[in-house]
Amino acid sequence: MSTPFNYKHLYYFWVVAKEGGISRAADKLDMAVQTVSAQVRELERALGYALLKPAGRGLALTDAGIAAMQQADQIFQLGEELPARVRDAVSAPTVRLATGICDGLPKLVVRRLMQPVIAEPNLRLMCHEGELDDLLGDLALHRLDVVLSDRPAPTNPNLKLYSHSMGSSAIGWYGTKALVEATRQDFPQSLALVPLLMPSAQTAVRARLDLWFEQHAIRPRIVGEFEDSALLKTFGASGMGVFPAAEWVHDDLLTHYAVERLGHCEGATEHFFAIVAEKKVQHPLVQRLLRPAI
């Protein structure tokens, strides 16, 4: 398939747009102004649209130029990763899996979701934690192979992303032995009498917990809110308050945090998703992760 434009011309346009003018771009490229200008005109001719327009003493992007710049950013950012990818490929027989972890997702759940692939020989697992929107942007640019989240990807016509359900879990209330013994009687109304630790409002499960309190006419005394689920459990294990957690990892909770279950959060459920970008060929380990969900 023939390419309708020259990638070298696209690169010169990209530098001009980033530098804010042809003269500054020429200095950066160590080329004559006339040469850079001619290269950009060639790109415009190939695409059939003007990409730059006069703006005061400088240049600004046209609507077509903005669209071209967005694509060029993706192309050349991926190109910058090429040397490292090639070097990694020949230096060791590793299987690299770049995974985004939504910061509200319980870390013990992440380990369970990743169980189908962590025994892969020569696996090099790259985990990047952050806000869902940022992770989805990296996924769309193919910097990540998969994103694990507590909610599906929002609908976006510009991003071809697909959310696969990885399961769900009931929620239980946990705390130290002393707090559990103090609140076991008259549960769940007794939760109003003790300090509570809660996931932050940015997490998908928080709205379900707030609704659960409302349905049971409980006015919670919240003394801490956490985006990081592991941090929430760490403070809970120290006795700061009773906290909610996915019962999916009940045994791990008791082992790692030395807490006890107070009771079941009836009707509240936490959901888990694997989000992938559209590709002709999916990463084989991503396919293995999704297999239970297909």
List the one residue out of 95, 83, 145 whose CA is nearest residue 274.
Answer: 145
Kindly provide the b/e burial profile for residues 95-108, where b requires at least 16 CB atoms within 10 angstroms of the residue's own CB: eebbbbbbbbbbbb
Domain 168-272 -> CATH class: alpha beta
Q: For residue 127, give Cα distances in angstroms to 100, 104, 122, 282.
A: 6, 14, 16, 18
Partners of 246 in the β-ladder: 171
Identity of the residue numbered 51: L
- Determine the Cα–Cα distance for residues 80 and 289; give it in Å rounded to an integer: 29
Phi, psi of 43 (to 5 degrees): -65, -45
Helix 7-19, helix 63-91: angle, nearest 10: 110
Rg of the chain over all Cα atoms, to the nearest angstrom: 26
Cα atoms in the Cβ-side hemisphere of radius 13 Å centred on 226: 21
Mind listing the pLDDT tens digit for each residue in 235-268? Answer: 999 999 999 999 999 999 999 998 999 999 998 9
Mind listing the pLDDT tens digit for each residue in 157-170? Answer: 777 899 999 999 99
- Give residue 235's pLDDT: 96
Residues of the chain with CATH 3.40.190.10: 93-166+274-293, 168-272
Architecture of domain 7-88: Orthogonal Bundle (1.10)
- Give residue 223's pLDDT: 97
Mind listing the pLDDT tens digit for each residue in 3-32? Answer: 567 888 999 999 998 888 898 888 988 899
- Between 134 and 3, the higher pLDDT residue: 134
- Give residue 221's pLDDT: 96
Mind listing the pLDDT tens digit for each residue in 208-218? Answer: 999 999 999 99
What superfamily does domain 93-166+274-293 belong to in CATH?
Periplasmic binding protein-like II (3.40.190.10)
Give the confidence band of 291 by pLDDT, cuts at 50, 70, 90: confident
